[in-house]
Amino acid sequence: MSVGIDKAAFYTSPYYLDLRTLAKARGVDPNKFTVGLGQQQMAVSPPDEDIVTLGANAAYQILLDEDIKSIDTLLFATETGIDQSKAAGILVHRLLKLSPRCRVVELKQACYSGTAALQMAMDQLRVNPSRKILLIASDIARYGLNTAGESSQGGGAVAMLLTANPRMIAIEPEAGFVTEDAWDFWRPNYRDEALVDGKYSCDLYLKILREAWQHYSEQSNRDYDAHQHFCFHIPIPRLAEKALQKLALINGKEKPVGKALDAACDATLEYSRTIGNCYTASLYLGLLSLLDNDNADLTNHRIGFYSYGSGCTAEFFSAVVQPSYRNVRCKAFHQQLLKRRRELTQQEYEYFYNFSYPRDGSSLSLPKSSTGRFRLASLNQHQRHYKTNEAPCVLQSVPVHQAS
């Protein structure tokens, strides 16, 4: 019996900022972003969009009535939590009208917690294969305006229905993992923006890759050539490319460059190049990008996954693509969502960024800017209130409220 991802979808903001626009505003060479980071655009969430609406909108695309009735666990992975106590998944549970006979919990360990949730769910399914588990990884990457990290923002969610005998990918039981106490990236409770030591974080990401791979190799007895594809955590696309080169060298292979590197990486990075960093969701956005954009038949191909969470914990594991994966893809939805997005001006981006929620419990009705089925409608007495749009359409064009 196999266990894994039966179906999955991502959702992201209908607004984006072109990094050439950001480069012009900051007085830097656009190549610093488009070439140096390998990034073209970044998603920008409007005020009425948060990790709850992103996650609920992603999950809505994959759930049928029978799934809603059968799901008995909702795992919500994020490092953009909206409450120190209440799990964001509780709010998603209500929006999706899941059964009250359902466990809900929020998991946190930087960008790694989506993988932690996945592996916990796999263990549960191996014991009880009749279950259905919904996993949502949802984040909004936020750094300070005019800081070094500003160009590597973004946001989005990936929702996965986890089952026995999955139709998309089967997760293999062997995994390699490692933890090391490090201050490469963190966000204290009193800050809205993360703190990061960029060079150290990138170096640590690559260092821990070697250790996680070695542990995985010991557990699985698989070598580099046993994998047809690799997906990496993608804080920026260029770092994922460096990770593949590093992994090849670790295994005594020739370092892929030029067309060889593009052939190995482009399909997995296509979505991230236009969405940006999704933290817990980024690894799985890479998976969906591969399944949607690689035109070859990937049936029975093995994918190696490297999941990294700053602070830090990392894991290397693998999965095998199932024969019916094309039947459960949301490729058309994903590509239409990206195609219909609206480009922001620098002024509009900074307006969205600087929009602040009340911290004294006062009431605020939010302007309607998001276009998904679910939106954050208001805040009152320190509580967030969500609505289901009467005529939801993720593809419509909505005017952006201008800064005064």
Residue 308: pLDDT band by 50, 70, 90 thresholds? very high
**Per-residue pLDDT band at 141 (split at 50, 70, 90):** very high
Catalytic position from the list 93, 229, 233, 334: 233
Pairwise CA distance, residues 253 & 224, whole Å:
9
User: Given a cut of 60, is residue 378 above it in pLDDT?
Assistant: yes
> What pLDDT digit, counting tens, does each position of 104-123 carry?
999 999 999 999 999 999 99
Is 111 known to be catalytic?
yes
**256-291 core/surface letters (b: 16 or more CB in 10 A; e: else):** beeeebeebbbbbbbbbbbbbbbbbbbbbbbbbbbb
Residue type, 189: N
For the chain, domains (ranges, CATH) are 3-388 (3.40.47.10)
Confidence band of 398 (pLDDT split at 50, 70, 90)? very low
pLDDT for position 190: 92
The pLDDT-based confidence of 399 (bands split at 50, 70, 90) is very low
Q: What is the mean pLDDT of residues 226-255?
A: 98
Centre a 10 Å sphere on the Cβ of residue 380 and count the other Cβ atoms it contains. Answer: 13
What is the C-alpha to C-alpha distance for residues 235 and 272, in angstroms, rounded to an integer? 9
Query: What percentage of the chain reaches a pLDDT higher than 70?
Result: 96
pLDDT bracket for residue 389 (50, 70, 90): confident
Q: Pull the structure tokens for residue 339.
A: 């195609």
Q: Is the dihedral of CA 156, 169, 117, 64 positive or negative?
A: positive
Q: What is the 3-state secondary structure (H, E, C) of the chain?
A: CCEEEEEEEEECCCEEEEHHHHHHHHCCCCHHHHCCCCCCEEECCCCCCCHHHHHHHHHHCCCCHHHHHHEEEEEEECCCCCCCCCCHHHHHHHHHCCCCCCEEEEECECECHHHHHHHHHHHHHHHCCCCEEEEEEEEEECCCCCCCCHHHCEEEEEEEEEEECCCCEEEEEEEEEEECCCCCEECCCCCCCCEECHHHHHHHHHHHHHHHHHHHHHHHCCCHHHCCEEEECCCCHHHHHHHHHHHHHHCCCCCCCHHHHHHHHHHHHHHHHHHECCHHHHHHHHHHHHHHHCCCCCCCCEEEEEEEECCCEEEEEEEEECCCHHHHCCHHHHHHHHHCCEECCHHHHHHHHHCCCCCCCCCEECCCCCCCCEEEEEEECCEEEEEECCCCCCCCCCCCCCCC
**Non-local CB neighbours of 123 within 8 Å, separated by 6+ positions:** none
Average the pLDDT over 224-239 and give the result.
98
- Residue 50 above 70 pLDDT? yes
With 70 as the cut, is the pLDDT of residue 379 above it? Answer: yes
Output the pLDDT for position 365: 97
Q: What angle do CA 378, 380, 385 make, to 5 degrees?
A: 40
What pLDDT score was predicted for residue 192? Answer: 87
Angle at 90 between CA 109 and CA 51, to 5 degrees: 55
Q: What is the pLDDT of residue 296?
A: 97
State the catalytic residue, choosing from 79, 150, 241, 315.
79
The whole-chain average pLDDT of the chain stands at 95
Per-residue confidence (pLDDT) for residue 2, from 0 to 100: 98
CA-CA distance, 283 to 47, in Å (whole number)? 25
pLDDT digits (tens, 9 = 90+) for 329-367: 999 999 999 999 999 999 999 999 999 999 999 999 999
Handedness of CA 221, 125, 209, 234 (dihedral sign): positive
Residue 156 pLDDT > 90: yes
Question: How large is the average pLDDT for residues 128-151?
Answer: 96
Average of per-residue pLDDT across 221-229: 98
Active site residue 227: no
pLDDT at 394 over 80: no
Residue 391: per-residue pLDDT: 59
Of residues 49, 93, 111, 241, which has the active-site annotation? 111
pLDDT > 60? residue 401: no
pLDDT, average across residues 270-283: 98
